[in-house]
């Protein structure tokens, strides 16, 4: 491991919560595809499988930020453990209902409750932010590491979930995802030394959601379009491979997509960046949009794999920069919630992109389906350009002071040792 990444783990407890976060995040890439595989094998009804997956995404989008808001107020241990027990119990009930062929409404109820799943990635990023507060370069490397972990999950998770459900028994994929969630969350919350201190609501503190931040609104809106790219690429790639008689190769092609992002994230974390993070973010979003163009021209799986690898290079750097901007735009007392809102935007976008691309594939074929991620990329770029000025507005603090949002241009971060600096109010 390169020295900047190795240096991250010099702080006590960092290796432990990073490892726990990896296990706890595996269900993010395993649960949805596991439900699709399980239901399609048990019932042969792909429509039902897709509807259940959309229900899970919608439930997580609604409940996830609320759980994170409670975490900011009461702490990770007090909130995550009961929320995880509820989610895992609902998954277990879903497996039983599916196996016993109970009415469809029972499946939807169980799936909706299973959406009460914590955003483990937001929890680990909040711990890095607490440890390396005031050290922007190390925090940049930490966020890059987290992005790498995300991509590794998306390389391993779907293959493991589909493989177990097809080779072992249909419920094996979702079952293993629930086990990973339970172990990961309980391990993470057992590490009290690195847990960020809760921020109870004070009598005169400003109430309301972190989403009231104009900058965060831009980031979440762009992430809805970005999520549509991811959801559409997944669905259309499977259809593309099936049309060419190699459906099983779709998982390998999508793994190459995640591999490109993983490698880019590893390199990005080693860079010492200058200039505005907001400008880098807009460039990253535009690069993701442009990278969708070659997909329209790929006529076979090898060319598609190359095009997706190149497209993946823009993902992790954009995600890392997004987390830095969230930290700059959201008060420290609402940081976990703010990070969860970006995940929510992605989840909503994935559901929309999957649905839209599925309709296009059914009506016009797989090659036409790649127009959906192309249009989603254009929409993300438009949102980024229109919201750029919001990302550069100074953020008001509780004392009425104003501070620049871009971490690279914040005098507090560039000179953390100055005794006259104001008290920190954004993470």
Same domain flag for 190 and 226? no
CATH number at residue 188: 1.20.1250
Indicate the residue among 169, 197, 225 that finishes a domain.
Answer: 197
Indicate the residue among 197, 216, 249 that finishes a domain.
Answer: 197
| Structure confidence at residue 32 (pLDDT) | 78
Asked whether the predicted pLDDT for residue 183 surpasses 80, the reply is yes
The answer to whether residue 143 sits within a structural domain is no
Same domain flag for 213 and 361? yes
The answer to whether residue 140 sits within a structural domain is no
Asked whether the predicted pLDDT for residue 422 surpasses 70, the reply is no
Indicate the residue among 197, 225, 247 that finishes a domain.
Answer: 197
Same domain flag for 223 and 356? yes
Name which residue leads in pLDDT, 356 or 87: 87
Same domain flag for 217 and 112? no
The answer to whether residue 5 sits within a structural domain is no
Same domain flag for 179 and 219? no
Alpha carbon dihedral 30, 34, 37, 40, in 10-degree steps, equals: -140
The answer to whether residue 408 sits within a structural domain is yes
Segment 148-166 mean pLDDT:
78
Range of the domain at 84: 13-134+161-197
* CB contact at 8 A, 292 and 370: yes
Give me the percent of the chain exceeding a pLDDT of 70: 86
Name which residue leads in pLDDT, 137 or 402: 137
| Structure confidence at residue 346 (pLDDT) | 79
Give me the percent of the chain exceeding a pLDDT of 90: 15
Same domain flag for 98 and 233? no
Q: How far apart are CA 17 and CA 24, in angstroms?
A: 10
Same domain flag for 28 and 109? yes
* CB contact at 8 A, 4 and 141: yes
Range picked from 139-148, 272-281, 380-389 for highest mean pLDDT: 380-389
| Structure confidence at residue 393 (pLDDT) | 64
| Structure confidence at residue 286 (pLDDT) | 93
Segment 244-255 mean pLDDT:
76
| Structure confidence at residue 239 (pLDDT) | 77
Name which residue leads in pLDDT, 414 or 123: 123
Query: Would you place residue 211 in the very low, low, confident or very high pLDDT band (cuts 50, 70, 90)?
Result: low
| Structure confidence at residue 201 (pLDDT) | 57
Structure-token pair, residue 254: 């999508």
Q: What does each C-alpha distance from 382 to 231, 284, 325, 348 come to in angstroms?
A: 19, 13, 18, 18
Asked whether the predicted pLDDT for residue 406 surpasses 80, the reply is no
Same domain flag for 265 and 165? no
pLDDT digits (tens, 9 = 90+) for 12-55: 888 888 889 899 888 887 887 788 778 877 887 766 776 787 78
The answer to whether residue 354 sits within a structural domain is yes
Same domain flag for 166 and 244? no
The answer to whether residue 125 sits within a structural domain is yes
Same domain flag for 258 and 182? no
CATH number at residue 345: 1.20.1250.20
Query: Would you place residue 367 in the very low, low, confident or very high pLDDT band (cuts 50, 70, 90)?
Result: confident
Same domain flag for 193 and 212? no
Range picked from 163-172, 244-253, 334-343 for highest mean pLDDT: 163-172
* CB contact at 8 A, 348 and 277: no
Q: What does each C-alpha distance from 308 to 7, 158, 224, 261, 402 come to in angstroms?
A: 32, 17, 20, 10, 42
Name which residue leads in pLDDT, 121 or 427: 121
| Structure confidence at residue 180 (pLDDT) | 93
Same domain flag for 186 and 302? no
| Structure confidence at residue 197 (pLDDT) | 81
| Structure confidence at residue 419 (pLDDT) | 33
Burial 122-148 (b: 16+ CB within 10 A, else e): bbbbbbbbebbbeebbbbbbbbbbbbb
| Structure confidence at residue 82 (pLDDT) | 92
Mean pLDDT estimate for the chain:
79
The answer to whether residue 356 sits within a structural domain is yes
Segment 132-160 mean pLDDT:
79
Range picked from 44-53, 249-258, 412-421 for highest mean pLDDT: 249-258
Indicate the number of domains in the chain.
2
């Amino acid at each position: 491991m390169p020295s900047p990444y190795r240096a991250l783990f010099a702080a006590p407890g960092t290796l432990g919560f990073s490892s726990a976060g990896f296990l706890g995040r595996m269900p993010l890439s395993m649960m949805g595809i596991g439900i699709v595989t399980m239901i399609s094998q048990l019932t042969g009804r792909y429509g039902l499988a897709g509807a259940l997956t959309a229900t899970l995404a919608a439930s997580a989008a609604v409940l996830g930020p609320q759980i994170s808001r409670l975490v900011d107020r009461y702490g990770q241990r007090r909130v995550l453990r009961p929320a995880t027990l509820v989610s895992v119990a609902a998954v277990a009930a879903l497996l039983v209902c599916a196996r016993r062929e109970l009415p469809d409404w029972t499946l939807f109820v169980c799936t909706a409750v299973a959406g009460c799943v914590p955003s483990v990635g937001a929890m680990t990023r909040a711990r890095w932010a607490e440890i390396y507060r005031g050290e922007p370069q190390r925090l940049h490397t930490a966020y890059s590491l987290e992005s790498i972990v995300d991509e590794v999950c998306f390389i391993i998770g779907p293959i493991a979930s589909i493989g177990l459900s097809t080779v072992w028994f249909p419920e094996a994929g979702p079952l293993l995802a629930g086990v990973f969630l339970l172990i990961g969350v309980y391990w993470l919350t057992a590490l009290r030394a690195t847990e960020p201190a809760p921020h109870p609501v004070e009598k005169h503190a400003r109430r309301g959601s972190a989403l009231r931040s104009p900058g965060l609104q831009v980031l979440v809106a762009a992430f809805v379009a970005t999520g549509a790219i991811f959801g559409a690429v997944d669905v259309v790639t499977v259809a593309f491979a099936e049309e060419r008689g190699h459906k099983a190769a779709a998982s390998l092609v999508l793994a190459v997509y995640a591999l490109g992002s993983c490698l880019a994230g590893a390199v990005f974390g080693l860079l010492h960046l200058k200039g505005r993070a907001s400008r880098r973010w807009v460039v990253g979003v535009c690069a993701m949009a442009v990278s969708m163009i070659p997909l329209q021209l790929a006529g076979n799986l090898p060319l598609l794999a190359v095009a997706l690898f190149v497209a993946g290079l823009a993902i992790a750097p954009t995600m890392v920069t997004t987390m830095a901007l969230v930290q700059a735009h959201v008060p420290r007392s609402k940081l976990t919630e703010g990070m969860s809102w970006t995940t929510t935007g992605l989840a909503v976008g994935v559901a929309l992109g999957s649905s839209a691309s599925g309709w296009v594939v059914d009506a016009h074929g797989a090659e036409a389906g790649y127009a959906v991620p192309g249009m989603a990329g254009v929409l993300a770029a438009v949102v980024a350009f229109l919201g750029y000025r919001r990302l550069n507005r100074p953020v008001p603090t509780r004392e009425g002071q104003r501070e620049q949002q871009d971490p690279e241009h914040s005098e507090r971060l560039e000179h953390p040792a100055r005794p006259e600096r104001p008290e920190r109010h954004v993470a």
